[in-house]
Amino acid sequence: MDYQGALLYLQQVQAENHKLSLANVSRLIETLPLTGKNKEKITFIQVGGTNGKGSTSSMLAAVLTKAGYRAGLFTSPHLVCVRERIIVDGKQIGRGDFARAVTMARSHAETAVAAGRAESMPTFFETTLLAALMHFQERQVQFAVLEVGLGGRLDATTALPVDLALVTNVSRDHQHILGRRISDIAAEKGAIARPGVPMLIGCRNSPRAGKVLAACAAQKGAPLYRAFPAGSRLRIEQNGSAYNCHYASGTKEFAFRLNLAGRHQAENAALVIKAVEILRNYGWSISDQALRRGLAELTMPARLETFPGPPPVIVDGAHNKASTEALASWLRERVNKPVSLVFGVLADKEYRAMSKILAPLARRVFLTEPPSPRRLPARLLKPWFTGLEVILEPDPGRALEQARSWPDMVVVCGSLYLAGLARELITRGGKNGRKQVQKG
């Protein structure tokens, strides 16, 4: 397949529902040539959690690269281009390499199914994971950091023999799949624990989730580490657009700088610092300088990303209650004046709670619809923004264009799909709000 053929193939499998078993993808992974003659084993690190797992994964991969290791990174979802999901040493996979990796993943799966080693072809997520593994092997990465797609227990990344597992935090999201109670969601995420494999958890503000995760680790016989044990300290000081931070989980305090916007990123960084400590205990050489550089130099799209005006536009991927609270906290701290809000969500999200958090911060709101079949009709959001000037514009491109005609700062949020489209329209100067985010 060429690049366009690879995209077409992925579109054909993209609509598949989540498979309620790891058996098939496990068999596909078991037969992959993940190690070869004269090639060292890849060290896999799995990162789960409700919020922050993408940022934490990217931070950790950046630190490993700064330490001199060849580091692969697999994340999801993508914002604009599916190739965003596969990164080596901070560089997105090229079109030719992506086409080759997807072709190899498809061929491998077809052979396995024909031979009876697998029951069915992989889903979209499983195919991109297999392609990432193929690419990582080809590039001879030493580390592969894998972000969990959804949950943990049945996520395809859990089929891999990881060497370190992380859970950033637990809050309500994907409740129709993971359960409505925090304890249920934590159990799904805690299922990434494996016998003898160290498991690191954050959950700074959720003791109940922490207890469930600890129980999961104990049940599986996984050594448990906490980023925020009793007596730990995390101090965050604003320094211009950046943050100077000090983290201590024991007797040693570590000072670092973050250029990523939002105080919540310091908690993700603390998790990375603790993960590095664990890796050092297992013999990996990672200097404090590499750790500081990896954290300080990382930038990420659609994480409180600012585009200069007039008016300035903030694009953020906040798509559940907890991430919306983090966005609101940053707006109160850094903006502290009413904004023009461009807001659209998927139908399965906590849009009532998200609307309640955002409404006090807006002067006017442009209710729109993310480019996804799962989008919530914009009109259903209107009752949650009473007392504000509300403009219904289902087309997100036109909603953004209208919002930018006012002098107030524009904030785009509610969905990663919406965030991805908004930054594509801003950076490319496009106006078609229905562009497909699958494009490469």
Confidence of residue 204 (pLDDT cuts 50, 70, 90): confident
Same domain as 401, residue 417:
yes
Boundaries of domain holding 17? 3-297
- Residue 345's pLDDT band, with cuts at 50, 70 and 90, is very high
- Show which of 251, 271, 297 is a domain's final residue: 297
Phi, psi torsion values for 255, nearest 5 degrees: -100, 135
339-359: average pLDDT: 96
Q: Which residues contact 375 (CB under 8 A, 6 or more apart)?
A: 344, 345, 346, 347, 369, 415, 417
pLDDT band for 40, please (50, 70, 90 cuts). low
pLDDT at 438: 41
Q: Which token pair is 282?
A: 């297992």
Query: What gap in Å lies between CA 57 and CA 170, rounded to an integer?
Result: 16
- Inter-residue contact 167 to 199 (CB < 8 Å): yes
343 and 289 in a single domain? The answer is: no
Is the same domain home to 127 and 276?
A: yes
Specify if 79 maps to a domain.
yes
pLDDT at 270 over 90: yes
Please state, in angstroms and rounded to a whole number, the distance separating the CA atoms of residues 237 and 232. Answer: 17
Contacts of 109 (CB under 8 A, 6+ apart): 28, 118, 121, 122, 127, 130
pTM metric for this prediction: 0.92
Omega into 311 within 30° of 0, i.e. cis?
A: yes
Quick one: tokens of 115?
């031979």
Is the residue at 434 inside a domain? no
Task: Describe the crossing of helices 53-66 and 288-297 by its angle, rounded to 10 degrees.
Answer: 130
Residue 219 belongs to a domain = yes
Could you tell me if residue 148 is inside a domain?
yes
Q: What is the DSSP string of 114-136?
A: HTTS-SS---HHHHHHHHHHHHH
* 288 lies in the same domain as 348: no
Residues 52 and 193 in one domain: yes
Whether 224 and 365 share a structural domain: no
Same domain for 159 and 74, yes or no, is: yes
| Domain endpoint, select from 272, 297, 322 | 297
Last residue of a domain, one of 297, 326, 345: 297
Give phi and psi for 370, each to the nearest 5.
-60, 155
pLDDT at 176: 66
Q: Please report how the helices 23-30 and 95-114 are oriented relative to each other, as an axis angle in degrees rounded to 10.
A: 110
Q: Same structural domain for residues 273 and 318?
A: no
- Which residue from 262, 267, 389 is spatially nearest to 331, judged by alpha carbons? 262
Note whether 26 and 43 are same-domain residues.
yes
Q: With cut-offs at 50, 70 and 90, classify the pLDDT of residue 49.
A: very high
Residues 314 and 423 in one domain: yes
Contact between 112 and 121 under an 8 Å Cβ cutoff? The reply is no
Q: Answer yes or no: is 289 within a domain.
A: yes
pLDDT tens string 366-377: 999 999 999 999
> DSSP labels for 278-339?
HHHHTT----HHHHHHHHHH---TTSSEEE--SSPEEE----SHHHHHHHHHHHHHHT-S-E
Whether the predicted pLDDT of 437 surpasses 50: no
19 pLDDT band (50/70/90 cuts)? low
In a shared domain, residues 173 and 58: yes
Instruction: Tell me if 440 is assigned to some domain.
Output: no
pLDDT exceeds 70 at position 90: yes
**Position 38 pLDDT exceeds 50:** no
- Which residues, in sequence order, are bridge partners of residue 364? 340, 389
- Residue 325 placed within a domain: yes
Q: What is the CATH number of the domain that holds 356?
A: 3.90.190.20
Q: Which two tokens stand for residue 381?
A: 């959001």
Instruction: Say if 218 falls within a structural domain.
Output: yes
User: Number of structural domains, the chain?
Assistant: 2
CATH code at 64? 3.40.1190.10
Let me know whether 88 and 158 are in one domain.
yes
